[in-house]
Structure 1
Amino acid sequence: MKLAGKTDVGRVRQDNQDDYRAGELPGDAAWALVCDGMGGARGGREASQCACSVIERCFQEQYSQCIPGEEETFLKKALLSANRYVFQKALREESLAGMGTTAVCALVRGGKAYLSHAGDSRAYLYRDGKLAQLTHDHSYVQELVDCGTITQEQAEHHPQKNIITRALGVDYRLEPEFTTVALQAGDVLLLCTDGLTNAVPTEQLEQLLRSGSFYDLPDVLIRTANENGGPDNITALLVGVEPMEVRHG
């Protein structure tokens, strides 16, 4: 398993409210997490960092008890723990009222990727030169697409694209979404914030992923987003599934 990630403030914002974490796990497994904070400069930064720290601690302290078949329960519990922590912190500190964060978290093991998320930060599968979106945006605009009010093309430029309908920390209740996908050798998972996907079209992302070497890709993706205007914070985190002969040879 290979991991590579980077975050950048972009060309417009004053503060970076994104955060990410990742790590290797026993048994040739790995985990990855991307968060995009909201609620003012301090609130957004605090929310994303706190959520990342809580979820990272869940992997450090509780992953050893996550037996096969319990991946969904484990991931959702980690996101719910982060939700509760951020929500309670916002209640205690007036200056942080209303803060929250998106989260997309992946656990990769046993030939599968297990994903849980809340918000519009995304996970993609890159395979054979093509990107497939694995997560479903929790956003007002996505709801308009789902009910047929607007097209996917219209959604790309909708003025209310930034309104999200689910996030960590804004309510004591949260329903994280879960999905899973079988992996093949050579696959790459891309976890990212909307600062990347809003600035770099899918076709350009595919071209960049085809042409770059794995460990250079976060730099390449972020540089391209900034060249395209960099209107928001940008985070790109990649998990590479290596062929058996590379892993053991």
Structure 2
Amino acid sequence: MKLAGKTDVGRVRQDNQDDYRAGELPGDAAWLLVCDGMGGARGGREASQSACDVIERCFQEQYASKCLPGEEETFLKKSLLSANRFVFQKALREESLAGMGTTAVCALVRGGKVFLCHAGDSRAYLYRDGRLAQLTHDHSYVQELVDCGTITVEEAEHHPQKNIITKALGVDYRLDSEFTTAPLQKGDILLLCSDGLTNAVPREQLEQLLRTGRFYDLPDLLIRTANENGGPDNITALLLRVEEVR
């Protein structure tokens, strides 16, 4: 497997409240994580970095013993829950961080599958045979309007309340994250990203970039394109390419 990632402040924001982590794991496995913080410049940065720190520590210290085959959902949900409680308690202790939170989309790749756990509107996509498929379901007010048929997908793209999310780490002691899984094939590319990418680069353009760009150049290429399209938010792109399936 190949990994490549980058984050960028964009062209409008003063601070980058996104963060990401990734790494290889024993047994030809890998993990990826993207967080998009909220709650003011300091709060957003603190929330996303803290969540990434906690989840990274879960993989470093607990993966080998607590993520046996069949336990992927439990492990990922507990990892996000640990990060949620850490951020929530930190916000309670420090008045300047009150109300902070962060999205999270976390992927574990092993055994020919991707296991995903997420909260918020940071997304995971699967690129295969020239087409990009969204694997995660946004936890947002606008997505709820789409789901119940109030607005169309096209109307959602430019809805004025698009930034309102309905789930995040750190805003409540409880967390109901969402888990999903999908099979992988040789040559697949997994893309995890913050909404700074998807709000700035249409799906057709993302597909074209993934089709034509060299793998290790893709994070730079995706972020540069988002900035050329206005760069209205922080932008994070994290990618994994499946070299073989075991």
TM over 0.5: yes
**Gaps (5+ residues) in structure 1?**
none
Secondary structure of the structure 2 residue equivalent to 1:107: strand
- Separation (CA, whole Å) in 2 of partners of 1:239 and 1:10: 23
- Runs in 1 of length 4+ with deviation above 4 angstroms? none
Aligned counterpart, 2:21:
21
- Separation (CA, whole Å) in 1 of partners of 2:26 and 2:217: 25
- Separation (CA, whole Å) in 1 of partners of 2:16 and 2:244: 35
Aligned counterpart, 1:95:
96
Aligned counterpart, 2:228:
227
**Gaps (5+ residues) in structure 2?**
none
Secondary structure of the structure 2 residue equivalent to 1:220: helix
% identical aligned pairs: 88
- Aligned-pair CA distance for 1:243: 3.2
The 5 A counterparts of 1:47-62 are 47-62=47-62
- Aligned-pair CA distance for 1:197: 0.1
Aligned counterpart, 1:77:
78
- Separation (CA, whole Å) in 2 of partners of 1:59 and 1:130: 31
The residue identity in structure 1 corresponding to 2:31 is W
Secondary structure of the structure 2 residue equivalent to 1:63: helix
- Aligned-pair CA distance for 1:41: 0.2
- Separation (CA, whole Å) in 1 of partners of 2:210 and 2:47: 30
- Separation (CA, whole Å) in 1 of partners of 2:75 and 2:127: 25
- Aligned-pair CA distance for 1:2: 0.6
- Separation (CA, whole Å) in 2 of partners of 1:130 and 1:242: 18
Aligned counterpart, 1:10:
10
- Separation (CA, whole Å) in 1 of partners of 2:241 and 2:31: 11
Aligned counterpart, 2:173:
172
- Separation (CA, whole Å) in 2 of partners of 1:176 and 1:62: 19
- Separation (CA, whole Å) in 1 of partners of 2:178 and 2:95: 30
How many equivalent pairs are there? 245
**What's the CA shift string for 1:101-131, capped at 9, x where partnerless?**
0000000000000000000000000000100
The residue identity in structure 1 corresponding to 2:55 is I
- Separation (CA, whole Å) in 2 of partners of 1:192 and 1:93: 29
- Separation (CA, whole Å) in 2 of partners of 1:219 and 1:226: 10
Aligned counterpart, 1:121:
122
Aligned counterpart, 1:42:
42
**What's the CA shift string for 1:125-144, capped at 9, x where partnerless?**
00001000000000000000
The residue identity in structure 2 corresponding to 1:55 is I
The residue identity in structure 2 corresponding to 1:29 is A
- Separation (CA, whole Å) in 1 of partners of 2:82 and 2:123: 20
Aligned counterpart, 1:187:
188
Aligned counterpart, 1:139:
140
- Separation (CA, whole Å) in 1 of partners of 2:189 and 2:210: 9
User: Aligned pair 1:198/2:187, yes or no?
Assistant: no
